[in-house]
Amino acid sequence: MIYTRSSALFVQAEKVIPGGVNSPVRAFKGVGGTPIFVKEAKGAYLYDEDGNRLIDYINSWGPMILGHAFEPVVNAVIEKAKKGTSFGMPTEIETEIAELAVSMVPNIDKIRFVNSGTEACMSAVRLARGFTGKDKIIKFAGCYHGHSDSFLIQAGSGASTFGTPNSPGVTKGTAKDTLLARYNDIDNVNELIQANKNEIACIIIEPVAGNMGCIPPAKGFLKALRDLCDANDVLLVFDEVMTGFRLAKGGAQELYNINADIVCFGKVIGGGLPVGAFAARNEIMNQLAPLGPVYQAGTLSGNPLAMAAGLAMLTELNTKDEIFERLARKTEYLHNGITKVLTGNNITHTINRVGSMVSVHFDEGAVIDFETAAKGNNETFKKFFHGLLNEGIYIAPSAFETWFITDALTYEDLDFTINAINKVAKTL
């Protein structure tokens, strides 16, 4: 395929936007080459500035679970826009979407809307600290909770030591309050809690990790975390920015039947507009300003266009239960097809899948945490990525990302993809 216009647009963008992109994951840093500029998208397909059609397995990193330019969402936004785009005053639609979200998700009484997943997680942690009166948090290596300071921490030499910042600009003072644990390692979490008795406000986790490829929680891991939190007066925060309204109506809480204390949302909840949210039971949410002392605010929070898009999206998911089943079946079909062609071509690989999240690692052995995810062969991934791109298939330009399956994909699209992978596998 030819990408001349995309390449020219990228050169132009680089002059006025750092790295030519407004979010680093969009650049092709990990795989080489230049990013593709999208002109428009419909259903399962992206159409780029060079006139190529690509089958999309990223779907805006999650939100477009029902496909691009999904009509009920688009129409809701158009109708709302005609009536004014922002007021900074309460609107009825905010209550409507809040009522719907609270009815779909287990174990939450109140929800507050923000503008991104980052804001949701950042605010959830502030709320956890305010509610418990404790400062430290535990996060897991390889989990991403947005770009706020407390989360940009990676393991030093040992995962059980205090975190060190992995971005200049994050102070040591902030980093020392973020403790790092190994995903799927309950003993490691317990050690951290015991070593920091009565100092930990919350544990924040992606209940299914999607930011080191897709990594499911080991059997019993989330339940063990819940028990540890209860025994030690620590809040459990589920970052469901990826999993919320995707793995089930009620997200990972429903799928695994585990209650979190605070839940964070993003992506699907905004139907493709900039929305995040965090939610909890009354006792916790009532600590928020203006009811309580924990401050959190936003000029554009609850924006009418964003709420209209989110409400149309959640309404569709709420009324059509079968969507989640259908998505899981399509993803399983793709998984089986990829396994068959990669195995047939003797390519060492491991595939992880939960619901409509799936990823391919080029290494053998179980992928259960950041360490095992990092073992994947990046050279093979690069060739795989560019090979698929050449066949008209767009996956994330990094091995550390999950694929997001959309309901707009047909079985014909999936077969086309599996055949393309078979072709590409022969070149790896």
CA distances from 126 to 130, 255, 262, 294 (A): 6, 27, 11, 7
Q: What is the distance between the alpha carbons of residues 67 and 60, in angstroms, rounded to a whole number? A: 10
Among 103-111, 114-122, 334-342, 391-399, the segment contacting ligand PMP (CB under 6 A): 114-122
3-class DSSP assignment, residue 220: coil
Q: Nearer Cβ to ligand PMP, position 116 or 398?
A: 116
In this chain, which of 97, 121, 192, 215 binds ligand PMP, going by CB under 6 A?
Answer: 121
Q: Residues 134, 249, 267, 330: which is the catalytic one?
A: 267
Answer yes or no: are the C-beta atoms of 170 and 149 closer than 8 Å.
yes
3-class DSSP assignment, residue 263: strand
Q: Which residue has the tokens 């959190």?
A: 296
Least separation in angstroms between residue 428's CB and ligand PMP is 28
Torsion of CA 75, 81, 83, 89, to 10 degrees: 120
Give the x-and-dash track for 14-53 against ligand PMP (CB under 6 A).
Answer: ----------------------------------------
Q: Is 116 in the site for ligand PMP (CB under 6 A)?
A: yes
Least separation in angstroms between residue 23's CB and ligand PMP is 7
Least separation in angstroms between residue 50's CB and ligand PMP is 27
Q: What is the distance between the alpha carbons of residues 283 and 173, in angstroms, rounded to a whole number? A: 30
Among 206-214, 311-319, 364-372, 391-399, the segment contacting ligand PMP (CB under 6 A): 206-214
**Amino acid identity, position 357:** M
Least separation in angstroms between residue 98's CB and ligand PMP is 19
Answer yes or no: are the C-beta atoms of 319 and 69 closer than 8 Å.
no
Which residues on neighbouring strands pair with residue 271, listed in sequence order?
273
Q: Residues 45, 57, 144, 256: which is the catalytic one?
A: 144
Interior angle at CA 183, CA 179 and CA 188, nearest 5: 60
What Rg, from alpha-carbon coordinates, does the chain have?
Answer: 21
Q: Nearer Cβ to ligand PMP, position 180 or 414?
A: 180
Least separation in angstroms between residue 43's CB and ligand PMP is 22
Least separation in angstroms between residue 380's CB and ligand PMP is 24
Among 44-52, 143-151, 280-288, 301-309, the segment contacting ligand PMP (CB under 6 A): 143-151
Task: Name the residue number minimizing CB distance to ligand PMP.
Answer: 117
In this chain, which of 43, 146, 250, 271 binds ligand PMP, going by CB under 6 A?
Answer: 146
Q: Residues 48, 56, 177, 239: which is the catalytic one?
A: 239
Which residues on neighbouring strands pair with residue 153, listed in sequence order?
165
User: In this structure, is the dihedral angle defined by the CA atoms of residues 324, 325, 331 and 332, taken in order, positive or negative?
Assistant: positive
Residue 426 CB contacts under 8 Å (≥ 6 apart), including other chains? 345
Among 110-118, 172-180, 303-311, 392-400, the segment contacting ligand PMP (CB under 6 A): 110-118
User: How many positions of this chain bind ligand PMP (CB under 6 A)?
Assistant: 16
Joined together, the tokens standing for residue 228 give 């540890």
Q: Nearer Cβ to ligand PMP, position 314 or 347?
A: 314
Least separation in angstroms between residue 276's CB and ligand PMP is 6
**Amino acid identity, position 258:** I
Least separation in angstroms between residue 125's CB and ligand PMP is 12
Neighbours of 22 (CB within 10 A): 9
Answer yes or no: are the C-beta atoms of 234 and 202 closer than 8 Å.
yes
DSSP state of 216: P
Q: Nearer Cβ to ligand PMP, position 242 or 360?
A: 242
Q: Nearer Cβ to ligand PMP, position 250 or 387?
A: 250
**Amino acid identity, position 124:** A
Q: For residue 144, indicate whether it is catalytic.
A: yes
Among 37-45, 123-131, 205-213, 252-260, the segment contacting ligand PMP (CB under 6 A): 205-213
3-class DSSP assignment, residue 407: coil
Contact set for ligand PMP, span 209-268 (CB under 6 A): 210-211, 239, 241-242, 266
Answer yes or no: are the C-beta atoms of 182 and 369 closer than 8 Å.
yes
Catalytic residues: 144, 239, 267
Which residues contact ligand PMP by CB under 6 A?
A: 61, 116-118, 121, 144-146, 206, 210-211, 239, 241-242, 266, 276
